[in-house]
Every structure is written in C-alpha cells, then in structure tokens.
Structure 1
Amino acid sequence: MRRASALILNTFEQLETPFISKLASIFSKIYTIGPLHCLSNVDDPTALASTKSIFWQEEKGCLTWLDSHPSKSVVFVSFGSVVTFTLDQMLEFWHGLVNSGKPFLWVIRSNAIIGEDDPRKILEDLKDNTKGKGSIVSWAPQEEVLAHPAVGAFLTHSGWNSTLESIYAGVPMICWPLFVDQYVNSRCVSHVWRVGFDMKDSCHRSIVEKMVRDVIEMKNEEIMKSMEEISKQAQESVKESGPSYCNLDKMIQDIMSVNLENINRRD
C-alpha cells in the first residue's frame, strides 16, 4: 500500500465520503468506480455472462417463481459462495422465515451444511417441507433476483459485492456477518447508512422472524427512505455522466498515459 501511486475502489463517492476523504489525505489518486457490477453491464449486458456462474449452475426457474408474488413481498436469502453453517443454525433460519409468514427464496449450496453425514438428504427434506412457504435453490442469479419487483428484503452475509448489489437494487438488508469485512459492512448497513438491520452473530428464529416482519410487513420508514436515497445515488453514479463512470474513464486515461511515458523512455 505504501508504494501504491493510486487506489481503485469498488464503491461510489456518496456512500463513503468520510472514508474516501481520509484516504485522499494519504494517496494522491483515488478512483471510486463502483458499483462495479453495474458498470460492467452498461454497454454490454452479456460481457460477463460466462463468469457469473463460476461456482454453481444458476436455477433461473426461481425468477418465474418470483413472478407469481406481489411487489416487495418476498425475502431473498443468500449467504454467498463460501459461508457454511450447522444444521441447528440452518433450522433456526428456516423456522424464523416460516414463522414470519412471508414467502422466501433461499439459496442453499449442497456443501453449505457442515457436520452432517448426508447433507444432501437434509436439503431435500427441507425443500419438501418448504413447499407452499417458499422456495429453496442451490444457486440463483443474484443481480436479477434483487432487481425483481417481488423482492422486498435481502437476508445476507454482508459480503461487499452483495451489499453493493442490494443497495443498487434498493432492497433493504438483514445482515448476518461471519468474518473479515462483513462485520464492518453490516455495521454500516444498520448504523451508518441505515438501510437494514444487523443480526450480529445471532440467528435465533425469533430475531429472524422479527426482522423479516419489520422490513416486509411494517416497512420501517427510516430504512425505506434511506435506501431509496442511497440507491438513487448508486444508480446515478454509473450513468455516463456520473462520478463512477467518469472516474473509470479517467483511470483508463491515466493508465494509458503512464504506459505511453514508459514506451517513450525506452525509445
């Protein structure tokens, strides 16, 4: 970091102004070019199609399932491609979701359940018991799901990519952080940006149920208003005249300029 001449950050200026200002006192050049997943889709929506299902095959049928539900009525649940949990933790989440009475779309990878002899059998039984209450899939097209009008809340591990995707889509979050930056992200979601709730390290069914109801049923006014404002800022930032779009263009020009200088020196 000390030898770096610039920082490239997957964020946008309005989201983290105090942190970016602090970094600007240390680094001469900072390029905020996020939400990066949006910029990658601006000109060519198919450009990254081959990389979006690196780990598991997406089950596109879940989008059809979402089509049958009213606006902002569904809880989308996904803890990313790395997070694992015990059977007890999984059942606490399941009971909390079912007890909330709200339909849910839950992504559970076949290797996500640890400490059990036959996790696949457990998963199949859970799917059977979920019929009529929600839908469980092994992997889903997350950006498309979050953009679907039926989705009203996102129960997430607070990974940075997921956080930005949810903000861009304008979907309030319920955060269950587990390691590294997820705790900071979750804290920002709940206490700085005020666009969701922080479960901290608890996944008790009563907490899950209450937070789901607070977002989907009660539609917490402060959270909804904050999310609407921040989501609009995220969307504006990646438009052609937006700050992130312009910063990306400036970064490319600066890199090209450095390369030309190096070529001229060799000549």
Structure 2
Amino acid sequence: MTCIPGYENVLRSRDLPSICRVEKADDSLLKFLMEETSTMTRASALILNTFYELEAPMISRLHSIFTKIYTIGPLHALYKSLLLQSDSSNSIGLWKEDKSCVTWLDSQPLRSVIYVSFGSLVNLTRLQALEFWHGLVNSGKPFLWVVRPDLIVGESGIDPMELEMLTMERGFIISWAPQEEVLAHPAVGRFLTHSGWNSTIEGINAGVPTICWPQIADQPVNSRCVSEVWKIGFDMKDTCDRSTVEKLVRDLMDSNKREKIMKSTDEFARLANDSVKQGGSSYITWRN
C-alpha cells in the first residue's frame, strides 16, 4: 500500500510522522511502532477524543478493524456539557496558568489578537524564536505568546525576559496560558500552534482558525488536515521565517482567504459544540 485509504490526494510523504519516513524497514523504532499498532487490534474498543462529524470517513474505515469505537470529543467541551458549566476553572495544566493575560485580552478589539502556543514539548532555537517574533511584530497585529521557561533551547538561547521586553508595545508574553479560556475569548481571532491534537481540537471547538507549525508525532498529519481537509487554516510545515509568518497572519486577518476559512471554521465549531450537547453524537456515545 502506497497511501492511506481516504487520503490518497491529501497526505504527502512530508505530512507523515518522521517514523513513517525512515529509510530502513528494520528501523528499531519503526518495528516497535508496528508492533504496538498491531497490538491495538486486540483491544475490545477504541475511545477517541474526536467527534464523528469531523472524521467520519476515517472512523468508518476504522470500524472495519474495531467493532466498538467511542468518539466522545471534544473531551473538554463534553466535560463542561455534562457538568452544565462553562468556565475552565477545573482545567489541569503542566505549569501554573497566568491569567493576567485575560485582563490584557479584555482591552483588545474583537478578534484582533493572534494567540501563539507551541504546547508542552516543542522547542525553539534562538533563531526560530526571533523569526517568529519578527514575523508577529511585522504583521502589525497584537499577539499573546506562551513562552515556556524551557521553550527556547541552545547555548545561545534568548532569555524569555528579553523577548518580553521586546514585545511590550505590540504583544503580551506569559509562561503558560489558560488555553481553553484564551481561545474562547472574543478578542482572539487566530491561533499559531504546533498542531498537537489537543490544541487542534480545542481550536476547532472555539472556532479559531489556525496557522500550523508542526514538528513531531501526529502534528504533521493534523496540520495537513487543517489546511487541506477541513480548510480551517494554513499549514506552515518545513518553514520558519519572518516573512512567511507575517504573510500568513495577515492572510488570516485581512485577505479574501479569510472569508472562506472563517465559513469552514464556524461550521466545524458549530458541529463540535452540537456533538457534546444533549442529543449530539459525542453526548449519545458517552451516555451509551
């Protein structure tokens, strides 16, 4: 087989996880992955953090392997729906959330801010951090950037405090954000992300179009789906330069491309929210 069924004209070699692009079939990590994947077929069921309407073709294909598949996502939205609450005060993070950013967001115009977060694992070099910073500043748009203490690596790493001082006039930098609350804030209009699945589905649920900069694991596949399957943003893989960052931010904020992307983004947000309501696909799956 030379392609993934259902994605014949979508996924390219560079969209696959790096482990799927090794040159030797006897690669030890590849063999481990294949063994673990094969073991999954012995599971009695699959529980997936997605909703049927988002990935119906793939879920249908998986049903030929697994008799029971429970799609109960977006999990964070289902959780709130079941508890009949709308805040994220019970969220659990890897770092202490800095909610001062919410006050800053309150002072920004509607859908004007681009939220930037590369998750809990992805690292940047000093050069990459500066390219992102220049691109964001040159876009002319306010931005909220999560800069973890360990985000920027290397002997010549840039001090997060230095980056914060450079950013004060145009944006806001924090060490960790209450992401669900930030994405749901009316001032946030775009999301620059590493395309991890949790961030991807949280962005979809919030109705925020994304610019994707994937690095590891499932992220390259997710980013390709964002741009070519769901059409809710742009895939920036294999690129990290200020001119590209600036252009894509402007394209999502200003250009004619915005209308088409927003139409698709709004529709998937509606489907995501409907799925966790009483009578929705994820709600029914959870109850059954």
What TM-score does the superposition give when structure 1 sets the normalisation length? Answer: 0.89
CA shift for structure 1 position 217? 2.1
1:153 has 2:190 as partner: yes
Which of 44, 54, 67 matches 2:106?
67
Partner residue, 2:136: 97
Contact 2:126–2:156 (CA under 8 A) maintained in structure 1? no
Aligned to 1:79: 118
AA aligned opposite 1:246: I
Work out whether 1:193 is the aligned partner of 2:230.
Answer: yes
The question of whether the paired residues in 2 share the 8 Å contact of 1:172 and 1:227 is answered with yes
1:198-246 alpha-carbon deviations (Å, 9 max, x no partner): 0012111000000000112226121111001111000000001111011
Contact 2:41 2:65 in 1 (8 A): no
Q: How does 1:46-195 map to 2 (within 5 A)?
A: 49=89, 52-53=92-93, 55-116=94-155, 119=158, 122-195=159-232
> Is the partner of 2:116 in helix, strand or coil?
strand
1:248 aligns with 2:271: no
Moved over 2 A (4+): 43-51, 116-119
Given that 1:40 and 1:48 are in contact with CA atoms closer than 8 Å, whether structure 2 keeps it comes out as no
User: What CA deviation, in whole Å up to 9, does each residue of 1:133-163 have, x standing for no partner?
Assistant: 0000000100000000000000000000000
Kindly state the Cα deviation for residue 193 of structure 1 after the two structures are TM-superposed.
0.2
| Matched pairs, number | 247
Residue in 2 that maps onto 1:262: none
* 1:10-49 aligned within 5 A: 10-44=49-83, 45=85, 49=89
Separation of aligned partners in 2, 1:135 and 1:85: 18
Q: Which of these two proteins has the greater Rg computed from alpha carbons?
A: 1
Q: Which residue of 2 aligns with 1:258?
A: none
User: Against the structure 1 CA distance between its residues 148 and 123, is the aligned structure 2 distance closer, same or farther, given a 3 Å change threshold?
Assistant: same
Q: CA separation in 2, counterparts of 1:145 and 1:113?
A: 22
How many Å apart are 1:50 and its aligned residue?
5.5
Output the amino acid matched with 2:281: P
State the alpha-carbon separation in 1 of the partners of residues 70 and 161 from structure 2.
46
Contact 2:88 2:181 in 1 (8 A): no
1:11 Cα shift?
0.5
Amino acid at match of 1:37: H
1:6 aligns with 2:45: yes
Cα offset for 1:39? 1.0
User: For residues 220 and 48 of structure 1, what CA distance do their matches in structure 2 show?
Assistant: 29
One-letter amino acid of the counterpart of residue 259, structure 2: E
Percent sequence identity over aligned pairs: 61
* Richer in helix (by share): 1
Deviation at 1:118, TM superposition (A): 6.5
* Alignment partner of 1:231 is 2:272: no
Provide closer, same or farther for how the CA distance between residues 106 and 228 of structure 1 changes in structure 2, counting only shifts above 3 A: same
SS in structure 2 at match of 1:13:
coil
SS in 1 for 2:153: coil
* Partner Cα distance (1:195, 1:35) in 2: 17
Match of 1:253 in 2: none
